[in-house]
Amino acid sequence: MTITEFQKLIEATYFTRDSARGRERTFMWFVEEVGELARALARTPEDGGRNLREEFADVLAWLATLASLSGVSLEEAALEKYRNGCPRCGGKPCSC
């Protein structure tokens, strides 16, 4: 699945609600998910890693919705900066 397809899937699922909530409050929900990811990373998985995968998925989903609320294409932004490897040294791998 492309990054854009995922962003559009999240838009189709949540854009109306997230748009009504507003970008600032949506950012706060995003940060809550970052906290849940921290918790999952800090603990020893007891479920085969399912919760950890869910938390990664959630952070990605909330990042996608924030991008949509900002009129930003995550995929275009990602390619613009990282397409050729490290944006500082141009290396892949980075040799900064």
Cβ contact 52:58 at 8 Å: no
Q: How far is the CB of 95 from its own copies (least distance, A)?
A: 9
Q: Residues 65 to 84: which contact its own copies by CB under 8 A?
A: 66-67, 70-72, 74-83
Q: How far is the CB of 46 from its own copies (least distance, A)?
A: 15
Q: Tell me how far apart the alpha carbons of residues 37 and 53 are, in angstroms, rounded to a whole number.
A: 9
Q: Which residue has the tokens 């609320």?
A: 69
CA 15 from centroid of its chain's CA atoms: 15
* Burial class (CB within 10 angstroms; exposed 0-12, middle 13-18, buried 19+) of 73: middle
Q: How far is the CB of 7 from its own copies (least distance, A)?
A: 10
Residues in touch with its own copies (CB under 8 A) = 1-3, 6, 9-10, 12-17, 23-24, 27, 31, 34, 37-38, 41, 49, 52-54, 56-61, 63, 66-67, 70-72, 74-83, 85-86, 91-94
